[in-house]
């Protein structure tokens, strides 16, 4: 079967629509995962075992079960329990919860990497817990976290084809529908690979720019902390 550029031109709008949904699901899912993961990391650091133990058990359970099963539960099982989610909403929540348990470990490692003296110095300066987290801990913890969080972002992007299982019309689902309807697979599937490659490369460039930006902010934050911390 020969490559047909005219066919590619015809299917390109549908593939672009699918790519838009893929990017939207990834961005929203990662935003959810970033916030959810931070919540899990904070709860796991709690001295209250009634909070830390169930949180740890939940995180282990989510990491130990396949994302596809979790998506099926959100989309097909929850309606039987009285909660119906749209396909995209279920996909975003599923991605967010699943990858939130992984980003939580990244947060935990970054937070644990902050020297204990920084916490003690913040306490000596009478900073509140919120001020300590915002001005002292997170600015130091974020920079080493960026590469790992970026890897999870790209991994999540590559997992979005699983959303087709819950009828989300993302890129792979659009390509499969086109291929099944026209009995031509080489063009749509090849274009999907090209889309994923281009978007992944663009994401890597953006992430490197973010790393440089956080590096500059971290140096500025360090200078500010040095100016206010007691010697």
Tell me the per-residue pLDDT of 61-80, one tens digit each, with 9 for 90 and over: 999 999 999 999 999 999 99
Tell me the per-residue pLDDT of 200-227, one tens digit each, with 9 for 90 and over: 888 888 877 877 776 665 565 555 555 5
Q: Which CATH class is domain 5-228?
A: mainly alpha
Share of the chain above pLDDT 90, in %: 53
**Is the pLDDT reported for residue 153 higher than 80?**
yes
**Is the pLDDT reported for residue 103 higher than 90?**
yes
Quote the pLDDT of residue 23: 93
Tell me the per-residue pLDDT of 154-181, one tens digit each, with 9 for 90 and over: 999 999 999 999 999 899 999 999 999 9
Average pLDDT, the chain: 86
Quote the pLDDT of residue 19: 92
Tell me the per-residue pLDDT of 32-53, one tens digit each, with 9 for 90 and over: 999 999 899 988 888 888 888 9
This prediction's pTM = 0.82
Quote the pLDDT of residue 160: 93
Highest mean pLDDT among 49-63, 114-128, 139-153, 193-207: 49-63
State the average pLDDT over residues 143-153.
84
Q: 3-state secondary structure string, the chain?
A: CCCCHHHHHHHHHHHHHHHHHHHHHHHHHHHHHHHHHHHHHHHHCCCCHHHHHHHHHHHHHHHCCCHHHHHHHHHHHHHHHCCCCCHHHHHHHHHHHHHHHHHHHHHHHHHHCCCHHHHHHHHHCCCCHHHHHHHHHHHHHHHHHHHHHHHHHHHHHHHHHHHHHHCCCCHHHHHHHHHHHHCCCHHHHHHHHHHHHHHHHHHHHHHHHHHHHHHHHHHHHHHHHHHHCCC
Higher pLDDT, 226 or 188: 188
């Amino acid at each position: 079967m020969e490559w047909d550029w005219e066919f590619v031109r015809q299917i390109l709008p549908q593939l672009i629509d699918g790519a838009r949904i893929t990017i939207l699901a990834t961005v929203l899912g990662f935003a959810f995962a970033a916030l959810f993961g931070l919540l899990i990391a904070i709860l796991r650091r709690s001295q209250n075992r009634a909070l830390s133990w169930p949180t740890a058990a939940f995180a282990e359970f989510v990491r130990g079960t396949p994302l596809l099963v979790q998506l099926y539960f959100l989309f097909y099982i929850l309606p039987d329990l009285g909660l119906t989610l749209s396909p995209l909403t279920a996909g975003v929540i599923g991605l967010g919860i699943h990858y939130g348990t992984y980003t939580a470990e990244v947060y935990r490692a970054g937070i644990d990497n902050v020297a204990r003296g920084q916490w003690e110095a913040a306490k000596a300066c009478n900073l509140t817990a919120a001020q300590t987290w915002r001005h002292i801990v997170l600015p130091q913890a974020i920079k080493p976290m960026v590469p790992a969080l970026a890897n999870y972002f790209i991994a999540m992007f590559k997992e979005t084809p699983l959303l087709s299982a819950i009828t989300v019309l993302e890129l792979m689902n659009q390509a499969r529908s086109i291929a099944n309807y026209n009995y031509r697979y080489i063009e749509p599937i090849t274009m999907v690979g090209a889309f994923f490659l281009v978007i992944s490369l663009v994401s890597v460039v953006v992430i490197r720019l973010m790393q440089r930006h956080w590096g500059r902010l971290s140096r500025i934050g360090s200078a500010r902390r040095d100016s206010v911390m007691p010697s």
